[in-house]
Amino acid sequence: MKSRKGKNTIRVSALSLALLIGISSANAAEIKPAKLGHSFSDSHPRALAMNKFAADVEAATGGAVKITLYGNSVLGSEQQMLQATRSNVQQLYMGAVSPLAGFQKQFQIFDFPFLFSTNQEAAAILDSEFGQKMLGDLNAINLTGLSWAGGAFRNIANIKRDISTLDGFRGLKIRVMPTQVAIDSFKSMGINPVPMAYSEVFTALETGALDGHEHPSVDILQNKMYEVEKHLTLTGHVYTPVALIASKKWFESLTPEQQAIVQKVASENKMFQRGLEIEQEKSAIAELEKNGMKVSTLQDGELDKIREAVKPVIEKHKKTVGEETINAFYQARQAANQ
């Protein structure tokens, strides 16, 4: 009797263990893991917003959708990360959409100078039917656009001199985004544009291969560019929007409920991210000055000269971007300012 009871106990224990293993395996199978890549430092407002996005999605799905973050370009350049997201090697991406112009020409519109006047105007345009259609267009290249997460105006920093006029920029070797619109825009200003991966910029400035670069002030601060560049001119020449984008294959692998949660959290998170970006933009200039950067504004009339200089660039690339996209943008901008 004692032996039979022992055998029964062993059988029950074995059955319990099998059930536990089965439950654990089922739970593991239900988890939808995702890698989210971006190029920003850990303290950047965009990185902080993505931390919140990942935590909120995991909480709202009861742990079923688990997002792991990879910042500081550890998964590659923005172009490489977007390609990885298209092929579902990486499931989520947050960053600039300029690299998408190689697949969908209409995205070149965001490289046009002086499209946006304020952060508020930019948000209204991107949240409009125009902006949502642009996100929807991503489905054709195996991506799902979740939200226009934020954006910032770009300024020009350099190692040579204080600049407050258009003529002051002439002849400088400035790193620009690797897009034809950006290259042509800077050429029209008398600048020698150098398309280069951002990860190479600091070293190029140290060696003199570059005289400067253009970027939002928050990024200039976060990446400690003040250690090599001592002059910043507030040009605000381009507003670069950033988007939160998913692999279409991964997104469609989620249940309808999970898809709705991810989309809802993305929509809520963009407001958080935009607020952080605007807040840090205000303090970034003061911090750059504290760290030895001389910050200059353009003299009266100089911004108009730059606008005039880049007009031919916009005309040149209108056909590539497409009349429909351009007209829709200007309609959205008009509505945003009514």
Bridge-partner residues for 246, per DSSP? 92, 144
Query: Would residue 269 count as lying in a domain?
Result: yes
Q: Does residue 73 fall inside a structural domain?
A: yes
In a domain, 155, yes or no: yes
Give, in degrees to the nearest 5, the angle at Cα 62 between 60 and 67: 75
Please give the model's pTM, rounded to 2 decimal places.
0.88
Residue 23 in domain: no
H helix count then E strand count, the chain: 12, 10
Domain count, the chain: 1
Contact 215, 154 (CB under 8 A): yes
- Say which residue the tokens 């390609």 belong to: 83
**Distance (Å, whole) CA 21 – CA 26:** 9
3-state secondary structure of 297: strand
Q: Which two tokens stand for residue 212?
A: 């400067």
Instruction: Indicate which CATH number applies to the domain containing 210.
Output: 3.40.190.170
Residue 18 domain-assigned (yes or no): no
- Asked whether residue 88 is domain-assigned, the answer is yes
How far apart (Å, rounded) are the C-alpha atoms in residues 235 and 114?
Answer: 10
Domain for residue 270, yes or no?
Answer: yes
Going by the DSSP 8-state scheme, the letter that residue 126 receives in this structure is: H
pLDDT (tens digit, 0 to 9) for every residue of the chain, 338 residues total?
445 455 444 454 554 444 444 434 334 458 999 999 999 999 999 999 999 999 999 999 999 999 999 999 999 999 999 999 999 999 999 999 989 988 999 999 999 999 999 999 999 999 999 999 999 999 999 999 999 999 999 999 999 999 999 999 999 999 998 889 999 999 999 999 999 888 899 999 999 999 999 999 999 999 999 999 999 999 999 999 999 999 999 999 999 999 999 999 999 999 999 999 999 998 999 999 999 999 999 999 999 999 999 999 999 999 999 999 999 999 999 999 99
> CA angle at residue 254 from 248 to 255, to 5 degrees?
135
Residue 21 within a domain:
no
Domain extent for 184: 31-330
